[in-house]
Structure 1
Amino acid sequence: MTKKKDIKFLRVAHLRGPNIWTYRPVIEAWIDIGELEDFPSNKLPGFNERLTALLPGLVEHRCGVGERGGFIERLEGGTWAGHILEHVVLELQNMAGMKTGFGKTRSTGEHAVYKMAFRTRDAVVGRAALEAGHRLLMAAINDEAFDMAATVAQLTELVDRYCPGPSTAHIVDAATDRRIPSIRLTEGNLVQLGHGAAQRRIWTAETDRTSAIGESIASDKDLTKELLASCGVPVPEGATVRSADAAWEEAQDIGLPVVLKPVDGNHGRGVTLNLMTEGEVRTAYAIASEAGDSTAVLVERFIPGNEHRLLVVGRQVVAAAKGESLWVTGDGKASVTDLVASQINTDPRRGESEEHPLGRVNVQDSEILLDLRRQGLTPESIPQDGQKVLIQVNGNVADDVTDRIHPEVAHAASLAARVVGLDIAGIDLVCEDISRPLSEQRGAIIEVNSSPGLLAHIKPASGEPRNVGRAIVDHLFGDGENGRIPIVGVTGKLGASLIARLIGCLLNAGGKHAGVANGEGLYLDGRQVHKGDCTGFAAGERLLINRNMEAAVFESNARSILAEGLPYDRCAVGIVTDMGGLEDVAEFHIRDSEALANVIRSQVDVILGDGSAVLNAADPEVVKLAEFSDGRVIFYAMDEQLAVMREHRARGERVVFARNNHIVLAEGEIETSLLDLGKIKPATVKHPASVLAATAGAWALGLPHDLICGGLRAFDATPKKTNY
Structure 2
Amino acid sequence: MRGRPGVYNVIYAYTDERVALAACELAVRLVNHLVQPEEGFDVDAALEEFQLRAQRSSFGPSTAAIIEEAVSRDIPFTRLNEHSLVQLGQGVHAQRIRATMTSRTSALAVDIAGDKNLTARILGSAGLPVPKAETVRSADGAVSAARRVGFPVVLKPLDGNHGRGVCLDLRSDEQVREAFGIAEAQSRRGIVQVESFITGKDYRCLIIGGRMAAIAERVPAHVIGDGEHSVRELVDLTNADPRRGVGHEKVLTRITVDDAAIELVREQGFELDDVPPRDTMVKLVMTGNMSTGGISVDRTFDAHPDNVEIAEEAAQLIGLDVAGIDFICPDITVPVRETGGAICEVNAAPGFRMHTHPTVGEPQFIAKPVVDLLFPPGSPSRVPIVAVTGTNGKTTTSRMLAHIMKGLGRKVGMTSTDGIVIDERLVIKADASGPRSAKMVLQNPRVDLAVMEVARGGILREGLGYDRNDVAVVTNVQPDHLGMRGIDTVEQLARVKSVVVEAVPRDGYAVLNADDPLVREMRRRCSGTVVWFSLEPPGSETREFIEERLRRGARAVVLDPTDRGEMIVLRQGRRAMPLAWTHLLPSTFGGAARMNVANALAAAGAAFALDAPLHDIRQGLRTFNTSYYQSPGRLNRLDVNNIEVFVDYCHNPPGMERLGEFVEGYVKHKQGSTTHRISRIGMVGAAGDRRDEDIRELGYVAAKFFDVLVLREDDNLRRRPPGEAAALLDEGAQKAMAEGARCRTTEIVLDEPTATRHAIVRANAGDLVVLCVDKHARVLSQLEGYTHQAAAGSRADEEQAGDPDLDASDLVLHDVQATSMDDPEVRAAVEPRDG
Asked whether the two chains share a fold, i.e. TM above 0.5, the reply is: yes
Q: Which of residues 315, 323, 328 is equivalent to 1:417?
A: 315
CA-CA distance at 1:300 after TM superposition: 2.3
Q: Normalization by structure 1: what TM-score?
A: 0.78
Kindly state the Cα deviation for residue 381 of structure 1 after the two structures are TM-superposed. 6.9
Q: Distance in 2 between matches of 1:219 and 1:679?
A: 66
How far is the alpha carbon of 1:341 from its aligned partner? 2.7
Task: Look up the match of 2:568.
Answer: 663
Q: Secondary structure at the match of 1:320?
A: strand
Residue 549 (structure 1) shift: 1.7
**Counterparts of 1:403 and 1:384 in 2: how far apart (Å)?**
34
Query: Is 1:636 the counterpart of 2:529 in the alignment?
Result: no
In the alignment, the residues of structure 1 paired with residue 215 and residue 278 of structure 2 have an alpha-carbon distance, to the nearest angstrom, of 36
Cα distance change, pair 348–702 in 1 and its aligned pair in 2 (3 A): same
Structure 2 residue 282 is matched with structure 1 residue 400: no
Q: Which amino acid aligns with 1:688?
A: V
In structure 1, what is the Cα distance between the partners aligned to 2:322 and 2:84? 16
1:195–1:351 Cα change, 3 Å: same
Report the equivalent of 1:501: 399
Equivalent residue letter for 1:595? Q
Say if 1:170 and 1:330 are closer, same or farther in 2 by CA, change over 3 A. closer
Per the TM alignment, residue 502 of structure 1 is displaced from its structure 2 partner at its CA by 0.6
Distance 1:561 1:300, change over 3 A: same
Question: Where does residue 587 of structure 1 map in the other structure?
Answer: 484
**What's the counterpart of residue 522 of structure 1?**
420
Of 105, 116, 126, the match for 1:210: 105
The residue aligned with 1:674 is 579
Could you tell me which of 538, 542, 547 is aligned with 1:646?
Answer: 547
Q: Is the 8 A contact 1:247 1:299 kept in 2?
A: yes
Aligned to 2:800: none
Residue 251 (structure 2) pairs with residue 357 (structure 1): yes
Paired residues of 1:312 and 1:318 also in contact (CA < 8 A): yes
Distance 1:156 1:719, change over 3 A: farther
Q: Distance in 2 between matches of 1:402 and 1:568?
A: 38
What is the aligned partner in structure 2 of residue 39 from structure 1? Answer: none
Give the 4+ runs in structure 1 shifted more than 6 A. Answer: 330-335, 380-387
For structure 2, which runs of at least 5 residues remain unmatched after alignment?
A: 633-776, 778-835
Pairing partner for 1:451 from 349, 352, 363:
349
Q: State the Cα distance separating 1:153 from its structure 2 match.
A: 2.1
Provide the C-alpha distance between the structure 1 equivalents of 2:127 and 2:626, rounded to a whole number of angstroms: 65
Match of 1:186 in 2: 81
| 8 A Cα contact 1:280 1:370, kept in partner | no
Q: What SS does the aligned partner of 1:117 have?
A: coil
Shift of 1:696: 1.1
Evaluate the alpha carbon distance shift between residue 404 and residue 141 of structure 1 in structure 2; reply closer, same or farther with a 3 A threshold. farther
Offset of 1:128 from its aligned partner? 2.5
1:335, CA displacement in angstroms?
6.3
Q: Which residue is 2:508 aligned to?
A: 611
Q: Is the 8 A contact 1:340 1:361 kept in 2?
A: no
Q: CA–CA distance in 2 between the matches of 1:331 and 1:637? A: 82
Contact in 1 for aligned 2:388/2:453 (Cα 8 Å): yes
8 Å Cα contact 1:505-1:525 kept in structure 2: no
Give the TM-score of the pair, scaled to structure 2. 0.68
1:720 alignment partner, SS class: coil
Q: For 1:21-170, list aligned pairs within 5 A.
A: 107-142=1-36, 147-170=42-65
SS at match of 1:488: strand
Match of 1:86 in 2: none
State how far apart, in whole Å, the 2-side matches of 1:263 and 1:380 are: 36
Contact 2:60 2:250 in 1 (8 A): no
Distance 1:245 1:114 in 2: 72
Which residue of the other structure, out of 539, 544, 560, is the alignment partner of 2:442?
Answer: 544
Alignment partners' CA distance in 1, 2:419 and 2:280: 75
For 1:340 and 1:247, locate their aligned partners in 2 and report how far apart those are by CA, in whole Å.
36
Match of 1:706 in 2: 615
Which of 241, 245, 264 is equivalent to 1:371?
264
Distance 1:715 1:235, change over 3 A: same
Does the CA-based 8 Å contact 2:58-2:249 persist in structure 1? Answer: no
CA 1:257–1:706 in 2, change beyond 3 Å: closer, same or farther?
same
One-letter identity of the residue aligned with 2:573: G
Output the CA distance in 1 between the equivalents of 2:90 and 2:392: 28
Once the two structures are overlaid, the 10-residue window that deviates more, 282-291 or 205-214, is: 282-291
Return 563-572 or 346-355, whichever deviates more: 346-355
Please give the secondary structure, in 1, of the residue aligned with 2:104.
Answer: coil
Q: 2:363 aligns with which of 465, 473, 476?
A: 465
Of 188, 206, 218, the residue aligned with 1:323 is 218
8 Å Cα contact 1:518/1:554 also seen in 2: yes
Q: Distance in 2 between matches of 1:373 and 1:709?
A: 84
After superposition, the Cα gap between the structure-2 partners of 1:544 and 1:365, relative to the gap in structure 1 and judged at 3 Å, is: farther
Q: Is the 8 A contact 1:357 1:459 kept in 2?
A: yes
One-letter amino acid of the structure 2 residue matched with residue 619 of structure 1: D
Shifted more, 262-271 versus 164-173: the winner is 164-173
Partner of 1:689: 598
After superposition, give the CA deviation of every residue in 1:648-679 in whole Å (9 maximum; x if it has no partner): 22122322222232222222222322222233
Q: Contact 1:329–1:339 at 8 Å: present in 2 too?
A: no
SS at match of 2:511: strand
* 1:405 partner SS: coil
Change (3 A) 1:432 1:215: same
Asked whether the equivalents of residues 135 and 193 of structure 2 are also in contact (C-alpha less than 8 Å), the reply is yes
Q: Distance in 2 between matches of 1:544 and 1:402?
A: 38
Q: Retained in 2: the 8 A contact 1:558–1:585? A: no
Q: SS where residue 413 of structure 2 aligns?
A: strand
Per-residue CA deviation, residues 122-142 of structure 1 (Å, 9 max, x unaligned), is 333223222322332233345
In 2, distance between residues paired with 1:232 and 1:256? 23
CA distance in 1 between counterparts of 2:62 and 2:361 reads: 18
Q: Choose 550-559 or 322-331, whichever is displaced more.
A: 322-331
SS at match of 2:301: helix
Residue of structure 1 in register with 2:95 after alignment? 200
Q: Residues 190-339 of structure 1: matches in 2 within 5 Å? A: 190-328=85-223, 336=231, 338-339=232-233
Contact 2:203 2:326 in 1 (8 A): yes
Partner of 1:624: 521
Separation of aligned partners in 2, 1:190 and 1:231: 34
Displacement of 1:513: 1.6
User: In the comparison of the two structures, how many residue pairs are matched?
Assistant: 614
In structure 2, relative to structure 1, the CA distance for the partners of 1:404 and 1:609 (3 Å cut) is: farther
1:645 maps to a residue whose letter is I
Q: Which moved more, 1:369-378 or 1:695-704?
A: 369-378
Q: CA deviation at 1:176?
A: 1.9
Quick one: distance in 2 between partners of 1:574 and 1:554? Answer: 9
Alpha carbons of 1:331 and 1:469: their partners in 2 closer, same or farther (altered >3 Å)?
closer
Higher RCO (C-alpha 8 Å, min separation 6): 1
Gaps of 5+ in 1: 1-106
Task: Report the CA distance shift for 1:325/1:693 in structure 2 as closer, same or farther (over 3 A).
Answer: closer
Moved more, 124-133 or 382-391: 382-391
Determine if contact 1:283/1:370 at 8 Å carries over to the other structure. no
Q: Supply the AA of the counterpart residue of 1:711.
A: G
Q: Residues 250-294 of structure 1: CA distance to partner in whole angstroms, max 9, x if unpaired? A: 434444333222222222222122233333333323322222134
- Structure number with greater Rg is 2
1:426 equivalent in alignment to 2:319: no
Pairing partner for 2:239 from 309, 327, 345 = 345
